[in-house]
Amino acid sequence: MTSISFQRFDFDELDSTNNKAADLACLFQKPLFVVAKRQTNGRGRRGRSWASLEGNLFVSFAFDGAGLSAGQWSVLSGVAVMQTVRHFCPEADVQIKWPNDVLAFGGKISGILFERADNGFWIMGIGINVTCHPQETTIGYHAESLAHLGAKTDANEVLSVLIQKFQALLSVAFAESFEPIRQVWLDNAYHLGQNIKIKQEKQIVEGTLIGLDLEANLLIRTSKGLERLNYGDILYEKE
Ligand code: BTN
């Protein structure tokens, strides 16, 4: 297998494309993706909501996850979104904040939320700010959109580039290895070599971000030595 054959489902409005993708995955037991023009209850990470204004892209892919680890899927999805943003805004300074937040000129332009459906399928929910972005954010950084960066496009066109990038990365990962994807991630990593803080459930780990291993764990040099983290959120400087 070098790509995944997804069935497409379109909706005008949903509470969350992640919910619908999980329901449909349980019903059909095959790879699919769900797109909505609007979400009434879009979810983000860390219990946040995701502003879901019409014109932006809201899509959730469902697949069984075979072939890669959870961390590798997570990083690969961020690379696919980063390449999509760069396709439309080739001049922009685009970076990936581990594991898969894509920032353009330091502003959050997309978000990815991984969940599991009841049948065990992975649900990869992606939001990309295409035509607009929230003016106020509850995170320490501003938000961005492709339109604000000068791109003239729409959610459907962004989705088709995202699918091409995702499938191309899958063929690399399946036919070769995760290593080329790790390299692309490293070449575009936010704060590589700098001091960062990672918030986990019960602690904040602080140290220098020195890289990513082949399992997509973050490598941090702390005062206690080298640590490998497989979950957590890098805090923005102002958080
Ligand atoms: C984040 O906090 O950065 C993740 C945001 C994920 C938003 C997307 S929009 C499509 C899908 N449906 C949701 O309810 N959330 C994800």
Distance CA 193, CA 177 (A): 25
The reply to whether 120 and 200 lie within a common domain is no
- pTM of the prediction? 0.95
Residue 84: the pLDDT is 98
- Paired tokens of 94: 């685009």
End-to-end Cα, the chain, rounded Å:
42
Residue 3's pLDDT is: 85
Q: Please count the helices (runs of H) and the strands (runs of E) in the chain.
A: 4, 13
Average pLDDT for runs of 10 along the chain of length 239: 90 98 98 98 93 95 95 97 98 94 95 97 98 77 93 98 97 95 96 93 93 96 95 76
What spacing in Å lies between the alpha carbon of 222 and ligand 1's midpoint? 31
Q: To test ligand 1's pocket by mutation, which of 15, 37, 56, 126 has the most ligand atoms within 8 angstroms of CB?
A: 126
Contacts for 97 with CB less than 8 Å, ≥ 6 apart: 103, 190, 191, 234
* pLDDT given for residue 237 in this prediction: 65
103 and 45 belong to one structural domain: yes
Handedness of CA 114, 117, 121, 126 (dihedral sign): negative
- The predicted pLDDT at position 215 comes to 94
pLDDT confidence of residue 52: 92
Where in the sequence is the domain holding 163, given as residue range(s)? 7-187
Q: How many domains does the chain have?
A: 2
201 belongs to a structural domain? yes
Are 206 and 108 in the same domain? no
Which of 40, 58, 85 has most ligand 1 atoms within 8 Å of CB, for mutation? 58
Residue 118 lies in a domain: yes
Asked if 178 and 227 sit in the same domain, the reply is: no
How far apart, in whole angstroms, are the C-alpha atoms of residue 6 and residue 96?
26
